[in-house]
Amino acid sequence: MSARNPADPALGKVSEQVSVSGPGEFDLIARYFAPLAGPGAFGLGDDAAVLTPTSGQQLVFTADAIISGVHFLVDDPAADVAAKLLAVNLSDLAAMGAKGVGYLITTAWPRALDEGWIATFAQGLAEAQAAYAVALLGGDTVATDGPMCLSLTAIGELPIDTALRRNGARPGDHIYVSGRIGDAGVGLRILRDGLLGGPAADRLMAVKRYHRPRPRLALGRSLRGLASACIDVSDGLVADLTHLSNRSCARMVIELARVPISPLADLIGGAAGAIVAGDDYELLFTALPADETRLLAAASAAALAVTCIGQVVEGEGVEVLDQAGNAVVIDHGGYRHF
Amino acid sequence: MSARNPADPALGKVSEQVSVSGPGEFDLIARYFAPLAGPGAFGLGDDAAVLTPTSGQQLVFTADAIISGVHFLVDDPAADVAAKLLAVNLSDLAAMGAKGVGYLITTAWPRALDEGWIATFAQGLAEAQAAYAVALLGGDTVATDGPMCLSLTAIGELPIDTALRRNGARPGDHIYVSGRIGDAGVGLRILRDGLLGGPAADRLMAVKRYHRPRPRLALGRSLRGLASACIDVSDGLVADLTHLSNRSCARMVIELARVPISPLADLIGGAAGAIVAGDDYELLFTALPADETRLLAAASAAALAVTCIGQVVEGEGVEVLDQAGNAVVIDHGGYRHF
């Protein structure tokens, strides 16, 4: 792990607003992050980490960045922010059918940040890496005058040529989704907007699904050789189905009534609201109808429900049908950064 | 490459300040970053990239984050910022003796950023990845209300068990540095403080050394089996020597007069100033005196000068001697983030 930039006095002076009070970044790394270092990371004390790939495996890489106030609420618990950042990257690995191996993290902490926040963040990272059997391989710690900015690169592996892709869906395939859609969207609205209603237990569950998504790694691995295309539901069911449609050059038709939705979905507009809410990190995939029995067995082994919600047809785009078979107009104007 | 967070409408609404004008992040990725994607990155259109490791090789990982106004000047050219971010990560790989393979980048762009800046940034990345034979494997593009925040993870490879480490220096080893020390520090002072003096050609060279450091990848590879410890000079010669000292549990003694310094070093306090300036990205390493002939041949093959500047002795810490053999007091208070 590096704390290099700008430990050098020259580069450091680029900013004259730099504080030299409080613990140094080397101390922060040694205290909170070095204990998370895996084999080959040399206690974060070298220029880089070294990893020996497993024979016969390919490596899989993904990276995500998150900004305080944009991707997480400024008062989200530090441990949840850390665990979620790791989980959403592992969810990308799950969508490829890979298992997790390790990760690197870079953190830009606001200068006024309480050290306790960092300690709790590292604790959340420790819990998540233990839960998902990955280890810290490196990273960087810097300070910023802006909002907290965190970036994580996850590394996974899978047997050669078994990666699940987005481009393999073919007309005639069925469309499946794991778990339930809309929980995280409800959770966010409860936290951010003070959304009321629903039983307390469901409300807690929804908030937990928002704060601590669980990457579907076991399911993803069991879909190798079964799913023709796969993606994780991060942008929202319709948006992610659109990615599958675009990449596979095929039309995706789903029936709204078949989508397994949150018990609190009524709070966000019912099924139509749930399918445009994001952050559920379920797997959305396609497969031959003939493979459905094997699919359901794989899902059962992963302790997850899997539901057929529609099918792939010739054409392009995504169509959502109501119970009468009429097209539902989906308002998923969508979030754009710029 | 993902643009996921928060392309999902739910998560997106965390921030109410979000603009939806201008090109979307998917457009930015498609336009500027997809053309940089290497084999296995699927045009940045999948959840993750897949890489087949070379048989008999280990993989090497490092990551750095940089913030506008802290790690680079807000008016540094976009192409230089990009090329330097990649180069400083590759410099870490060089210090391990690895060759570069690929990289992932996450970018948090200020919302008001001109798209032309991003285009030029991508151009700089393209030039640098061509120069160093690496390819883009993935990343993420988000927007921020704060200063630009960039993070890059570099992936390299080297034959199993040949990594150069920081902990192998032993009493009796000589200490060497490649190239010249202080150029980048002078360059920064010229750009940031309007430092005057020196021939125009030297001034241009110093600024170029600051903007476009060249990772010493060929030298690093040729040091495998020769150097007992190695680090790249990013924090400054004395600071990085201190890292080698700490990790190797040995004392590093260098002679100031032997350090190859910038022709403009007088502008920053001479040799004493040069050895506490950072950002030169030369290799600093130790080796047995008996290997010096092989070392010099390796350096010559890499078209680099290598200079013996001192030796490793029993003890701890770093000592800098003047020509009379007296210890020089080094003021390298050092930059700390917190």
User: How many domains, in total, are found in chain A?
Assistant: 2
Residue A28 belongs to domain spanning: 22-159
Would you give the distance in Å from CA A254 to the centre of its chain? 23
Size (chain A), residues:
338
Task: Look at residue B15 and tell me whether its pLDDT is greater than 60.
Answer: no
Instruction: Please answer yes or no on whether B10 and A138 come within 8 Å at the CB atom.
Output: no
A316 in any annotated domain: yes
Interface mutation vs chain B, best among A11, A113, A248, most B CBs within 10 Å: A11
Size (chain B), residues:
338
Clarify whether residues B188 and B315 are in a common domain. yes
The answer to whether B203 and B190 have CB atoms below 8 angstroms apart is yes
3-state secondary structure of B110: strand
What does B123-136 look like in DSSP terms, one character per residue? HHHHHHHHHTT-EE
Q: Which residue has tokens 């441990």?
A: A79
Instruction: Please answer yes or no on whether A59 and B51 come within 8 Å at the CB atom.
Output: yes
- Tell me the per-residue pLDDT of B212-266, one tens digit each, with 9 for 90 and over: 999 999 999 999 999 999 999 999 999 999 999 999 999 999 999 999 999 999 9
How far the first Cα of chain B sits from its last, in Å, is: 32
Residue among B54, B103, B70, B76 nearest B215 (CA)? B103
Euclidean distance between CA atoms B281 and B279, whole angstroms: 6
Q: Who among A21, A109, A138 is closest to B62 (CB)?
A: A138
A248 in any annotated domain: yes
pLDDT band, residue B330 (cuts 50/70/90) = confident
Q: Who among B18, B64, B72 is closest to A140 (CB)?
A: B64
Clarify whether residues A183 and A216 are in a common domain. yes
Clarify whether residues A130 and A28 are in a common domain. yes
| Reported ipTM | 0.91
pTM, full prediction: 0.92
B2 in any annotated domain: no
Q: Who among B104, B111, B336 is closest to A153 (CB)?
A: B104
Residue B141, Ramachandran bin (φ over 0: left; ψ between -120 and 50: alpha; else beta): beta
Q: Which residue has tokens 């010249």?
A: B180
B36 in any annotated domain: yes
Clarify whether residues A246 and A299 are in a common domain. yes
Clarify whether residues A107 and A37 are in a common domain. yes
B251 in any annotated domain: yes
Question: How far B202 CA lies from chain A's nearest CA (Å)?
Answer: 18
Euclidean distance between CA atoms A250 and A238, whole angstroms: 14
- CATH code for the domain of A37: 3.30.1330.10
Buried b / exposed e along B171-200 (16+ C-beta atoms within 10 A): eebbbbbbbbbbbbbbbbbbbbeebeebee
Clarify whether residues B279 and B181 are in a common domain. yes
B75 CB-contact burial (10 Å; exposed 0-12 / middle 13-18 / buried 19+): exposed
Identity of residue A80? D
Clarify whether residues A315 and A180 are in a common domain. yes
Three-state SS string across B1-25, please? Answer: CECCCCCCHHHHCCCCCCCCCCCCH
Which residues of chain A does B8 touch, with a Cβ-Cβ cutoff of 8 Å? 234-236, 239, 277-279, 335
A6 in any annotated domain: no
Mean predicted lDDT score pLDDT of chain A: 91
Clarify whether residues A178 and A248 are in a common domain. yes
Euclidean distance between CA atoms B68 and B87, whole angstroms: 17
Residue among B124, B112, B99, B110 nearest B33 (CA)? B124
Which residues of chain A does B7 touch, with a Cβ-Cβ cutoff of 8 Å? 234-235, 239, 278, 334-336
Instruction: Please answer yes or no on whether B166 and A24 come within 8 Å at the CB atom.
Output: no
3-state secondary structure of B140: strand
Which residues of chain B does A336 touch, with a Cβ-Cβ cutoff of 8 Å? 7, 18, 20, 24-25
Clarify whether residues B178 and B316 are in a common domain. yes
Interface mutation vs chain A, best among B68, B183, B335, most A CBs within 10 Å: B335
Token code pair at residue B316: 């701890």
B327 in any annotated domain: no
Question: How far B91 CA lies from chain A's nearest CA (Å)?
Answer: 9
- Tell me the per-residue pLDDT of A246-281, one tens digit each, with 9 for 90 and over: 999 999 999 999 999 999 999 999 999 999 999 999
Euclidean distance between CA atoms B31 and B28, whole angstroms: 5
B10 in any annotated domain: no
Of the candidates B127, B159, B191, which is a domain's last residue? Answer: B159
The answer to whether B129 and B135 have CB atoms below 8 angstroms apart is yes
Clarify whether residues B317 and B183 are in a common domain. yes
Task: Look at residue B82 and tell me whether its pLDDT is greater than 60.
Answer: yes
Q: Who among A147, A192, A239 is closest to B146 (CB)?
A: A147
Clarify whether residues B235 and B302 are in a common domain. yes
- Tell me the per-residue pLDDT of A16-34, one tens digit each, with 9 for 90 and over: 323 334 567 788 888 999 9
What average pLDDT does the segment A174-186 reach?
A: 98
Nearest chain A residue to B276 by CA distance is A9
Clarify whether residues B256 and B117 are in a common domain. no
Which residues of chain B does A66 touch, with a Cβ-Cβ cutoff of 8 Å? 5, 142
- CATH code for the domain of A293: 3.90.650.10
Nearest chain A residue to B146 by CA distance is A146
How are strands ordered across the β-sheet holding A251-255? A227-232, A283-287, A174-178, A306-313, A251-255, A318-321
